[in-house]
Amino acid sequence: MALDRTYRLVPGTTIFDADQAAKGYHLNQFCMSLMKAENRARFLADQRAYLDEWPLREEQKQALLDRDLNAAMREGGNIYFLAKWGAALGLSFQQMAGSMTGMTEQEYRDMMVGGGRSLEGNRIDHAVLDAAYADQAPPAEHAVITGAVFTSHVPAIGAALDHGKTEEPYWKPVFAGYDYAKQWEKDDLPDVVFLVYNDHATAFDSSIIPTFVLGTGAAYPTADEGYGPRPVPGIEGDPGLAAHIAHSLIQDDFDLTLVNEMPVDHGLTVPLSLMFGDVAKWPVKVIPFHVNVVQYPVPSGARCFKLGQALRKAIESYDRPLKVQVWGTGGMSHQLQGPRAGLINREWDNAFLDKLIEDPAGLAQVPHLEYVEQAGSEGIELVMWLIARGAMSDVDGSGQVEVKHRFYHVPASNTAVGHLVLENQPSLENHPRAVEPAEGVS
Ligand code: DHB
Ligand code: FE
């Protein structure tokens, strides 16, 4: 058992986890639609016809038509979502809960008045639980991290590519810095890129400010940031691996926000263009990972570095033989605002690259104030690079990294461009176990 899913052993109980959420995605979204009076009216007028408008499996539709909530839960429904459906039909929570127990409404009500259901006869089978813990061997095959790419994600680079300006004297040296990485990607194409970037007030505005967002969706459209969407392909996600990473990281106390639907902006698409060029379809699946570096408080370098380490454990415990790269984007020094706009600090940037390679744990201790003072207000994007660096195998001594390419150039628009390619050389015997049994649970 790779991850702790022992909650599945609680009798008479369905825990709504990432697998269930994926299974019930459209069913639950259908339920949400019933929060609008006009949709409720259409549903009640012809339930089958309204259900047919949704991309639901027949089992899901039938469960609702039969008012069989146990079946709806098996099909990925969650009680708080299904409650919207129940409410549209005039059912109370007590009626809905009682309908799943095999009791009549009156019997269930009487049981609750009598003090509720007893735990006796409703406990976990501890023999089964102990057997589950005993079966904690690492998976026979698993995903590996093959490398890390670090790069600026300046939107003007995307615009230069999209408008055929790559040969202009201003841009030519910038793109030349990426020739190595383009070939390196071709030579050992990963299956999935875990792409750390920041959304720039595109998918997330002042109405919601999540610190860490993991994209668990199947696909993400290219955002329109005001100039029209970039003429690049949309992104295909990897919901299976992303759900596994979500489970592992959250169990390791990284309280992520999971997002299934969001447009992705230049922070994500420009690095893809730099690595893969002008293509009709991106040659890899992408798991977007957004870090809030727009509104303070933003996460520390130390937190990002630790997250990277937990990310490696998550990826290496996924039981499919995928090749995964982790990319860190943004930076290097830049300030896009105020009288100090245009700040560039070559010395600090290059020291950052040196330390990123040789002493990432030390670099992780650098406080925000230093980034802002030395690298400019938007230079804070560089904390994201520590996530990708933390995911390399040399960090805990279990493997090594090799610097394949390093590049630095000023300017691209308002920034210094920095770029680094690290090959990860894990020692596979050392790959970490996914989870130890929780203390006190046995
Ligand atoms: C610029 C750089 C960025 O990282 C960004 O997100 C937006 C603009 C720039 O230099 O123009
Ligand atoms: Fe940026």
Instruction: Name the nearest CA neighbour of 161 among 177, 174, 180.
Output: 174
CATH (domain of 59): 1.10.700.10
Rounded to 5 degrees, what angle do the CA atoms 189, 192, 193 make? Answer: 90
Q: Whose CA is nearest to atom 2 of ligand 1?
A: 154
The tens digit of pLDDT for each residue in 387-419 reads: 999 999 999 999 999 999 999 999 999 999 999
**Long-range CB contact pairs, 340-347, < 8 A, 24+:** 340/376, 340/377, 341/414, 342/414, 343/375, 343/376, 343/379, 344/376, 344/410, 344/411, 344/415, 344/416, 345/374, 345/375, 345/376, 345/379, 345/416, 346/408, 346/410, 346/416
Would you say residue 439 has pLDDT above 60? no
Tell me, yes or no, whether 204 and 327 share the same domain: yes
Ligand 1 site-directed mutation target among 414, 417, 419, most atoms within 8 Å of CB: 414
Is residue 440 a part of any domain in this protein?
Answer: no
| Cα 135 to averaged position of ligand 1 atoms, centre (Å) | 49
SS3 track for 43-104 = HHHCHHHHHHCCCCCHHHHHHHHCCCHHHHHHCCCCHHHHHHHHHHCCCCHHHHHHHCCCCC
- With respect to residue 439, please indicate whether it lies within any of the assigned structural domains: no
The preferred substitution site among 151, 153, 154 for testing ligand 1, maximizing ligand atoms within 8 Å of CB, is: 154
The beta strand positions in 106-190, using DSSP E, are 144-151
| Full residue range of the structural domain in which residue 29 is found | 6-134
Cα of 172 from ligand 2 centre, angstroms: 21
Same domain, 294 and 241: yes
Single-letter amino acid code for the residue at 104: T
Domain end position, chosen among 134, 164, 193: 134
Same domain for 204 and 98, yes or no, is no
Cα three-residue angle 178-180-185, rounded to 5 degrees: 95
Q: What is the pTM of this model?
A: 0.93
107 and 157 share one domain: no
- Which of 334, 349, 410 maximizes ligand 1 atoms within 8 Å of its Cβ, making it the mutation to test the pocket? 334
Residues 88 and 217 in one domain: no
- Predicted confidence band at 2 (pLDDT cuts at 50, 70, 90)? low
Percent of the chain topping pLDDT 90: 91
User: Is the pLDDT reported for residue 437 higher than 80?
Assistant: no
Looking at per-residue confidence, does 140 or 165 come out higher?
165
pLDDT digits (tens, 9 = 90+) for 79-131: 999 999 999 999 999 999 999 999 999 999 999 999 999 999 999 998 888 88
> Does 49 have pLDDT greater than 80?
yes
What does pLDDT average to over the chain? 95
441 domain-assigned: no
Answer yes or no: do 200 and 292 share one domain: yes
Q: At 287, which amino acid appears? A: I
pLDDT of 432 higher than 60: no
pLDDT at 131: 86
How far is it, in rounded angstroms, from Cα 179 to Cα 188?
15
Ligand 1 contacts (CB < 6 A) are 153-156, 200, 330, 334, 336, 378, 413-415
Q: Is residue 308 part of a domain?
A: yes
Task: Please report which confidence band the pLDDT of residue 440 belongs to, taking 50, 70 and 90 as the band edges.
Answer: very low
Band (pLDDT 50/70/90 cuts) for residue 428 is low
Task: Copy the structure tokens of residue 152.
Answer: 């600026």
CATH of the domain at 347: 3.40.830.10
Per-residue pLDDT for 133 more than 90? no
Q: Which atom of ligand 1 is nearest to the CA of 267?
A: 6
Closest atom of ligand 1 to CA, residue 381: 4
Ligand 1 atom 10: residue of nearest CA: 414
* Residues that are catalytic: 266, 334
